Chain A
Amino acid sequence: QKEVEQNSGPLSVPEGAIASLNCTYSDRVSQSFFWYRQYSGKSPELIMSIYSNGDKEDGRFTAQLNKASQYVSLLIRDSQPSDSATYLCAVIGTSYDKVIFGPGTSLSVIP
């Protein structure tokens, strides 16, 4: 089992819809979780971090964390074509000194 897994893409949603991106992780002691966005040909950039169970909202983005289920998700409300990118889930691993990235989910928002 990979340490961090994401729902396979590509994911396509119409403009204005809610995009839901999911991530599961294998290490029960993980405490810190991140979502990065990567446009084609560019480098990853941080969207959100979340450390506690529950929801964290930032504009159109909501991160949800459930440590009991070892699950973290990212919801994008009112999706825009500019949200079309690959979204990387990242988790701080057991050794606490490095971040482990999932394979990414490609999102396409159709106008």
Chain B
Amino acid sequence: NAGVTQTPKFQVLKTGQSMTLQCAQDMNHNSMYWYRQDPGMGLRLIYYSASEGTTDKGEVPNGYNVSRLNKREFSLRLESAAPSQTSVYFCASSASAPDTQYFGPGTRLTVL
């Protein structure tokens, strides 16, 4: 079992560029989450999907979109990157919402 995987691990973008962060889990979990982590701010929820076919906004959704492609995959898209989106992004999954969460390795994104 790979658990939760994320791609890419690192990314540098220029302001205005777009990109999609990919996340997949092989634990047959129903719920998936996207967080960003900034120094001194802890983990902040961007979007979550309580179950396949549903998505909801978290604390900081502006500038992001998500797609729950199937039960395994949950992607995060930045349509027009801004320097304020420079952060470490974590994907997580749980058997149900809410429950113990299992995190991916993270994506370190820098927007210039």
Contacts and interface: CB of A to CB of B under 8 A. Distances in A.
A102 B98 contact: no
Contacts, number: 47
A96 B98 CA distance: 6
Given A45-B103, A49-B100, A97 B50 contact: yes
Interface string B82-112: 0000000010000001101111111000000
What is the interface residue range for chain A against chain B? 10 to 19
A105 to B, nearest CB: 10
Interface residues of B, number: 22
A92 to B, nearest CB: 5
Interface of B: 33, 35, 40-45, 48, 50, 56, 58, 90, 97-98, 100-106
B63 to A, nearest CB: 19
Contact of A46 (B35, B97, B101): B101
